[in-house]
């Protein structure tokens, strides 16, 4: 069984989701998984990939919203979904 296979993806940290995705890939690459389980693993892997990508996109957006002070130096951050 893949690490993190039973935990809901929405409850996973980025690191947990990434480890679970790596586990899915290892299992699929092993070639020792029956076809039906391979399909389920692939589906789980795709959901994990989407969750990781969404977290990375959110982090990048937050970084891009760093607020600069009058001196041009970063003075804090603004949530990526805040109005400019």
Listed by start position, the domains of the chain span: 9-77
Question: Which CATH number is associated with domain 9-77?
Answer: 1.10.287
Euclidean distance between CA atoms 59 and 15, whole angstroms: 14
Per-residue pLDDT, averaged over 26-50, amounts to 95
Q: For the whole prediction, is pTM greater than 0.75? A: no
Euclidean distance between CA atoms 46 and 24, whole angstroms: 10
Contacts of residue 48, defined as CB under 8 A and 6 or more positions apart, other chains included, come to 9, 17, 18, 20, 21, 24
pLDDT band at 6 (very low <50, low <70, confident <90, very high): confident
Distances (CA, A) of 19 to 1, 5, 47, 48, 51: 13, 10, 13, 10, 12
pLDDT band at 49 (very low <50, low <70, confident <90, very high): very high
Return the axis-axis angle of helices 35-64 and 14-30, rounded to nearest 10°. Answer: 150
Structure confidence by residue, pLDDT tens digits, 64-73:
777 666 676 7
């Amino acid at each position: 069984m893949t690490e993190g296979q039973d935990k809901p993806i929405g409850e996973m940290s980025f690191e947990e989701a990434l480890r679970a995705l790596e586990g899915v890939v290892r299992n699929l690459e092993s070639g020792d998984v029956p076809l039906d389980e391979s399909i389920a693993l692939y589906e789980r892997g795709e959901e994990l990939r989407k969750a990781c990508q969404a977290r990375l996109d959110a982090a990048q957006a937050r970084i891009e919203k760093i607020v600069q002070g009058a001196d041009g130096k970063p003075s804090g951050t603004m949530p990526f979904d805040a109005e400019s």
